[in-house]
Chains A and B, each alone.
Chain A
Amino acid sequence: DIQMTQSPSSLSASVGDRVTITCRASRSISGYLNWYQQRPGKAPHLLIYTSFNLQSGVPSRFSGGGSGTYFTLTISSLQPEDLGTYYCQQSYSAPLTFGGGTKVEIK
Chain B
Amino acid sequence: QVQLQQSGPGLVKPSQTLSLTCVISGDSVSSNSAAWNWVRQSPSRGLEWLGRTFYRSKWYSDYDPSVKSRMTITPDTSKNQFSLQMNSMTPEDTAVYFCARVIGGYTSGWFDSWGQGTLVTVSS
Contact = CB atoms under 8 A, between A and B. Distances in A.
Given A43-B98, A44-B47, A100-B46, A95 B111 contact: no
Contact of B114 (A43, A92, A96): A43
Interface residues of B, number: 23
B49 interface: yes
A43 B46 contact: no
Interface string A84-107: 000101011111111011000000
Q: Is the interface of A mostly helix, strand, loop or mixed?
A: loop
Given A95-B65, A96-B49, A100-B46, A43 B116 contact: yes
A36 B107 contact: no
Given A95-B49, A98-B47, A44 B114 contact: yes
Nearest to A97: B49
Contacts of B92: none
Contact of A55 (B100, B107, B112): B112
A55 B100 CA distance: 16
Contacts of A87: 47
B107 A93 contact: yes
